Amino acid sequence: MQVEELPIKGVLKLTPKIYKDNRGLFLETWQKKRYEEFGVPTEFVQDNLSISSKNVLRGLHFQKEHPQGKLITLLKGKIFDVVVDFRKYSPTFGQWAGTYLSAENFEQLWIPPGLAHGFLVCSDEALFNYKCTEYYYPQDEKTILWNDPTLEIEWPLSASPILSAKDECGTSFEAEAK
């Protein structure tokens, strides 16, 4: 497995070893001992599946009182994944990092608790699974504006993004960081 740390401390891009032959392919998407070696927690309490079409932009979401760590596995398509550091004690507090994830090599992203998360679908459709270290509490979920001018996220937009009502009316990073 290849592991690359992104500029935000603790955020890891993981590329598993894929075994291909004339029948198809095989890979491990999770193996407790191996992931522990890279600092990925081994206790997940919830798995989620997300399917989105091209130009859908989801995020930037986080939970303030019950922060979730997430291990994302891209199963189909290509996305531009973004994290924003919301950990006040972190030297990268208020900074963002983005990376492309592709199902061609089943790339994964480990996002530690305390980061806001969002993504833009760059392919016709994207399908991914993510494991969470904390339960989802709808009353605790917060949304930062995807285009917050203080963050200056460089989304690779080819058209206007398709947003949910919740994502259209997110709040500023500065307001949430108080």
Contacts of 156 (CB under 8 A, 6+ apart): 80, 120, 122
pLDDT at residue 91 greater than cutoff 90: yes
**Domain of 9, in residue numbers:** 2-177
Omega of the bond leading into 12 within 30 degrees of 0 (cis): no
pLDDT at 167: 96
Q: What's the mean per-residue pLDDT of the chain?
A: 95
pLDDT at 178: 80
The pLDDT tens digits of the residues spanning 104-127 come to 989 999 999 999 999 999 999 999
Active site residue 61: yes
The pLDDT tens digits of the residues spanning 136-157 come to 999 999 999 999 999 999 999 9
pLDDT at residue 82 greater than cutoff 90: yes
Which listed residue (19, 35, 130, 135) is catalytic? 130
DSSP 90: S
pLDDT at residue 66 greater than cutoff 90: yes
Number of domains in the chain: 1
DSSP 161: P
- Show the tokens assigned to 163: 């947003």
Which listed residue (61, 66, 100, 136) is catalytic? 61
Beta-strand ranges (E) seen in 16-77 are 18-21, 24-27, 46-53, 57-63, 70-76
What CATH number did the domain enclosing 169 receive?
2.60.120.10
pLDDT at 145: 97
pLDDT at 41: 86
